[in-house]
Structure 1
Amino acid sequence: MKSKEKIVVIMGATGSGKSALSVDLALHFKAEIINSDKMQFYDGLKITTNQSTMDERRGVPHHLLGELDPEEGEVTAAKFRNMAAHAIAGITHRKKLPILAGGSNSYIHALLAKSYHDQGNYPFSKNGTICSELNYDCCFIWIDVAQPVLFEYLSLRLEKMMKTGMFEEIAEFHRTKKAPKEPVAVGIWKAIGVQEFDDYLKTYKWDNDKENWDPVRQEAFKKAVRAIKENTFQLTKDQIKKIRKLRTAGWEIRKVDATATFREAIRAAKERDRGDEMQRMIWNREVVEPCVGIVKRHLEQQINKNKRMRLM
């Protein structure tokens, strides 16, 4: 009987460091990364969707990241299953380790579940069922951050994103792209930030001279930013709820606490201290080193099993 292909799956709420950890592990284990964040499939809105920059990827090959035309529309879970399975096959053929990283847990379930059906069973609905039989030999890692700390970090991150061009990026996207003719938003048009600024951009022509905006316009802008924060917070709650449901259904998901790193990031931001060296030290100690151990033990299981088979 052919053994299942081994893959590593990095899970967690938005902003919890999945992309960074996947690169750290890829460099350690000679791996390639497959994106499973459905807003990051598209070539566009790189700031808004928090796509890893080329520098942040550190030479590690990434798949399904920024590859699709924004006007292509919705990528169904079934389509993702096919695309990601093809990427995994290519990576394993190159004798590399596939690492799946992203926060779209329904897509992760679609890829990994043995008996997945695109229609009729949304696994995370009230009456939905989780399939515990998996297509791959998975090593699951959940990066967890205490909710109050994560929320504070996400608020600061949004402020930074706005300063580095998020609003301008969304305004240009609205100006140059045509939304698919659907009754509800689809594809990248569902990205947090795009819809929240929709009414604002329909009311006001774009200009970035915020100091000369009238009070009504300023309040409309602030309202959109508040909505982005609130919807981001709700997204993290939904993501964690889904991970817990997968765990309850029997998925062996190992949790690693990254709270200390994010507390340091918040302190550094408030004190205007880059704090990169301290953050990296805490991240390596509290997150990377434990995760390297988890993945190493997972990979060694198959090696030991093969040795026993040869001795029989």
Structure 2
Amino acid sequence: MESTLVKAKKDKIIVIMGATGTGKSRLSIDLATRFFPSEIINSDKIQLYRGLDITTNKIPLQDRLGVHHHLLGEFDSDQIGELTPCQYRLHASNIIEDILGRNKLPLIVGGSNSLIHALVSDRFDPNSDVFNDVDSMLSSELRYDCCFLWVDVGLEVLYEYLLKRVDEMFDSGMFEELTEFFKSETESGPIQQIGIKKAIGIPDGGGGGGDMMDTHIKDLAIKAIKYNTCQLAKRQIEKIQRLRSAGWDLRRLIATEAFRAVLLSDSDMSSEIWEKNVVEPSVKIVKTFLEE
């Protein structure tokens, strides 16, 4: 007699992960606009919140090329405080169901591995800190059929690129954005480090609400943000390595040479290497995954 216990087929999703600044958004747009009808779900915990678009490095609207982005700048941290991993799991899973229901491919994109873990783990325990507690076990049991694309850049090259990117962000108006933010926030009292405010690596909350345009404060801000950004990248890579050690099938895409070309100001060579080393293998991996 044929068994009535048939294992349900899991929904397929793509997860694009990697340290900050490694090109996750660029790859997601490449895949969504050129190969697979997709919608993107943000998994960067700071980019969940409204405001500070330059500081949090949200992908500009014109660069999204019409691709629908979910959970990007959607929440007001002054109203809701900080979105918990459980809340993220609920919001993102509902969006995945909706995207799949419209015959599109969900792309989960972002550097917050704790949110990715909360979303895809079959039995997520919000009371267990799997990345910081050595006694907590990371499970390889997933509730989705996941294709993990890990965009990786050698640490030395990545650090150099991140320092360059912070300078470019300041040139693009990041300092003015922070000045206006601190001006409005300090009027209502001390700045609480929750939600969007965790994005800021400035000592003493911007000099205790002083003159943000002071040269000394500006230099402190640039140094602090550069240091914090590099430390963030290092922590993110450590978490990714832990997920890999736990049995997660992460497909590593090495983008180091493409970023090295960027640092040499050779944009044509960078695009060519990016296409060869990142986009083309990603397309092959995803096509094989979808056909399985």
Flag whether TM exceeds 0.5 (same fold): yes
Deviation, structure 1 residue 278? 2.9
Partner of 1:108: 116
Deviation, structure 1 residue 174? 1.8
CA contact (8 A) 1:8 1:138 kept: yes
Deviates more, 1:236-245 or 1:223-232: 223-232
Partner of 2:4: none
Give the letter aligned to residue 116 of structure 1: F
Q: Equivalent residue of 2:108, what SS?
A: strand
Task: Pick one of 52, 60, 82 that aligns with 2:59.
Answer: 52
Pair 1:17-2:8 in alignment: no
Pair 1:64-2:46 in alignment: no
Partner of 1:271: none
Pair 1:39-2:46 in alignment: yes
Deviates more, 1:144-153 or 1:168-177: 168-177
CA contact (8 A) 1:32 1:98 kept: yes
Give the letter aligned to residue 76 of structure 2: D
How far apart, in 2, do the equivalents of 1:31 and 1:88 lie? 11
Partner of 1:265: 262
How far apart, in 1, do the equivalents of 2:262 and 2:192 lie? 37
Task: Pick one of 137, 148, 151 that aligns with 2:156.
Answer: 148
Relative distance call for 1:45 and 1:159 in structure 2 (3 A) is: same
Partner of 1:219: 216
Q: How big is the alpha-carbon RMSD for the aligned residues of Structure 1 and Structure 2?
A: 1.9
Percent identity over paired residues: 46
CA contact (8 A) 1:171 1:201 kept: no
Deviation, structure 1 residue 54? 1.3
Deviates more, 1:285-294 or 1:181-190: 181-190
Task: Pick one of 275, 279, 282 that aligns with 1:291.
Answer: 282
Deviation, structure 1 residue 196? 1.1
How far apart, in 2, do the equivalents of 1:6 and 1:179 lie? 47
Gapped runs of 5+ residues in structure 2? Answer: 1-6
Give the letter aligned to residue 65 of structure 1: L
Q: Equivalent residue of 2:264, what SS?
A: helix
Q: How does 1:170-209 map to 2 (within 5 A)?
A: 170-177=178-185, 185-191=193-199, 194-196=200-202, 198-202=204-208, 204-207=210-213
Deviation, structure 1 residue 182? 9.6
Pair 1:282-2:273 in alignment: yes
* Residues paired across the two proteins, number: 283
Deviation, structure 1 residue 195? 4.2
Give the letter aligned to residue 9 of structure 1: V
Give the letter aligned to residue 63 of structure 1: H
CA contact (8 A) 1:48 1:166 kept: yes
Q: Equivalent residue of 1:165, what SS?
A: helix
Deviates more, 1:22-31 or 1:88-97: 22-31
How far apart, in 2, do the equivalents of 1:195 and 1:233 lie? 11
CA deviations 1:22-52 (Å, max 9, x no partner) are 1111121111100000100112110001100
Give the letter aligned to residue 218 of structure 2: F
Task: Pick one of 30, 33, 47 that aligns with 2:37.
Answer: 30
Partner of 1:132: 140
How far apart, in 2, do the equivalents of 1:24 and 1:178 lie? 41
Q: How does 1:68-83 map to 2 (within 5 A)?
A: 68-71=75-78, 72-83=80-91
Deviation, structure 1 residue 204? 2.9
CA contact (8 A) 1:73 1:180 kept: no
CA contact (8 A) 1:8 1:98 kept: yes
Task: Pick one of 150, 158, 172 that aligns with 1:164.
Answer: 172
CA deviations 1:228-261 (Å, max 9, x no partner) are 1111111111100000111111100010100111
Partner of 1:87: 95
Gapped runs of 5+ residues in structure 1? Answer: 208-216, 269-274, 302-312
